[in-house]
Amino acid sequence: MLTIQKNIPLLPLNTFGMAVNAPFLSVIRTVADCAHIKAHIPNHLPILPLGGGSNILFTQDPQAWVLKNEIRGIHLLKEDDGSVWLEVGAGEVWNDFVQYCVQHDYAGVENLSLIPGTVGAAPIQNIGAYGVEVKQLIDTVTFWDFNKETLVTLDNAACLFGYRNSIFKHELKGQFLMTHVVFKLSKTPNFNISYGNIQEELDRMGITTLSLKAVSAAVVHIRESKLPNPKEIGNAGSFFKNPEVPHTIYQSLKDDYPTIPGYTISEQVTKIPAAWLIEQCGWKGFREGDFGVHQKQPLVLVNYAQAKGSDIFHLSTRIIASVQERFGISLEREVQIV
Ligand SMILES: Cc1cc2nc3c(=O)[nH]c(=O)nc-3n(C[C@H](O)[C@H](O)[C@H](O)COP(=O)(O)OP(=O)(O)OC[C@H]3O[C@@H](n4cnc5c(N)ncnc54)[C@H](O)[C@@H]3O)c2cc1C
């Protein structure tokens, strides 16, 4: 049943723990709800789809109609000798879906274990971790287009996936609600344990025979030891993207800073860890009142108790300015600012 709620606190619905209110909020459970809600939303008011609120910073009450996505369900659409195609409701919790795949021996998503949020938000910023990006596993996505008032399905190529990027952050922003994602997963695992310290963790766990379950558990252990749990300290994971720069720029930075890390992305481009740049500028562990930079992970900005979104936003601006001044590199925010 589609309901309209007014003046709803969003505190429990965002992992930064910002105490803001939505003027209107509706829970979307079906595609039909998307079609029906349109008639209630005044023309001047934009929509704001919300999943787990784990990639969003509210700096004020959103001047928007919040659509909380709770479209559920995991369906096996088809299979062949090597693969399965699963259609997943956009409101499914991402890590529940990962664990479902691990239990059913469907391979591909295990390195993305424990990323917070929903399935529907995963394609929007092309979530990634431990050497895997979700774009490698997506067959199609389906969304309700509020301008055209119809369902639209895009294949993988049409989503224009990039590093933490897709068409959904650009042309389609603000006019759609993701309803379903179809994943193509493998029946035969192709373990990817060379990234980070997965192998080390598997050794520590005493694992000698690889399995999806073991790799997923290793990733969960590593993440739990490195990243702050939003239930304890408000945060939205990495606040900034890792900058990609031309090789020539990287080489000249290396002359000045011989220890600067870099990963070759293509013939022309090197990716530099933003965490290293931020740490070099002295921000790691910085705290002012209730907001700061995490002690172990300088990419993560935190709300220790009652920080305001504007405090966190201004801190991010100061960090961007200091990295720009010292290294000549413009950091880009990964988190969506409202
Ligand atoms: C501790 C922690 C660790 C993290 N680690 C990682 C990581 O390793 N890799 C990574 O990539 N990310 C990571 N993140 C970021 C975050 O978990 C992902 O970006 C996740 O996909 C966000 O999902 P969500 O449902 O919470 O999205 P929300 O925060 O609810 O929304 C994010 C954006 O997507 C839009 N949106 C959400 N759902 C829909 C929908 N159904 N239709 C249309 N638009 C929608 C929103 O309007 C908003 O603009 C981390 C976050 C935290 C807190």
Residue 92: give its domain's CATH number.
3.30.465.10
Q: Which residue has the tokens 């020539």?
A: 248
Residues 283 and 305 in one domain: yes
What is the per-residue pLDDT for 1? Answer: 84
Q: Assess whether 46 and 80 both reside in one domain.
A: no
Q: One-letter amino acid identity for 325?
A: E
Q: What is the pLDDT along the chain (338 residues), one digit of tens a residue?
A: 899 999 999 999 999 999 999 999 999 999 999 999 999 999 889 999 999 999 999 999 999 999 999 999 999 999 999 999 999 999 999 999 999 999 999 999 999 999 999 999 999 999 999 999 999 999 999 999 999 999 999 999 999 999 999 999 998 999 999 999 999 999 999 999 988 799 999 999 999 999 999 999 999 999 999 999 999 999 999 999 999 999 999 999 999 999 999 999 888 999 999 999 999 999 999 999 999 999 999 999 999 999 999 999 999 999 999 999 999 999 999 999 99
- Is residue 176 one of the residues assigned to a domain? yes
Minimal-distance CA residue to ligand 1 atom 4: 237
Asked whether residue 139 is domain-assigned, the answer is yes
Written as one letter, the residue type at 296 is K
Residues 6+ apart with CB under 8 A from 335: 55, 56, 57, 236, 237, 239
With respect to residue 134, please indicate whether it lies within any of the assigned structural domains: yes
pLDDT of residue 181: 98
Structural domain that includes position 258: 234-337
Residue 216 lies in a domain: no
Same domain, 80 and 177: yes
Tell which of 69, 96, 113 closes a domain.
69
- The answer to whether residues 65 and 107 belong to one domain is no
Identify the pLDDT of residue 44. Answer: 87
The total domain count for the chain is 3
Instruction: Looking at the structure, tell me whether residues 86 and 164 fall in a common domain.
Output: yes
Looking at 14, 34, 69, the residue that finishes a domain is 69
- Ligand 1 pocket, 166 CB below 6 A? no
Could you tell me which residues are beta bridge partners of residue 149?
Answer: none
* Catalytic-residue membership of 310: no
> What is the reported pLDDT for 48?
97
Please give the distance, rounded to the nearest whole angstrom, from the Cα atom of residue 153 to the centre of ligand 1. 21
Q: Is 135 helix (H, G, I), strand (E, B) or coil?
A: helix
In whole angstroms, give the CA distance from residue 69 to residue 177: 8
Q: Are 121 and 52 in contact (CB under 8 A)?
A: yes
For the beta sheet containing 291-293, the strands, ordered from the edge strand earlier in sequence to the opposite edge, are: 234-238, 300-303, 291-293, 287-288
CA of 208 to the centre of ligand 1 (A): 34
User: Is the domain of 135 the same as that of 158?
Assistant: yes
Beta carbon of 125 within 6 Å of any ligand 1 atom: yes
The H-assigned helical ranges of the chain are 31-37, 94-103, 198-204, 212-226, 247-256, 274-280, 309-327
Angle at 8 between CA 292 and CA 69, to 5 degrees: 85
Q: State the catalytic residue, choosing from 26, 54, 113, 164.
A: 164
Atom of ligand 1 nearest to the CA of 15: 53
**CA-nearest residue, atom 43 of ligand 1:** 177
Domain boundary among 129, 163, 186: 186
Could you tell me if 64 and 86 lie in one domain?
Answer: no
Distance linking the first and last C-alpha atoms of the chain: 28
The sign of the torsion formed by the CA atoms of 164, 113, 233, 276 equals: negative
Q: Is 334 a catalytic residue?
A: yes
pLDDT number for residue 126:
97
Ligand 1, atom 24: nearest CA belongs to which residue?
A: 117
Q: How far is the CA of 334 from the centre of ligand 1 (A)?
A: 10
Residue 52 CA to ligand 1 center (angstroms) comes to: 7
Atom of ligand 1 nearest to the CA of 229: 1
267 noted as active-site residue = no
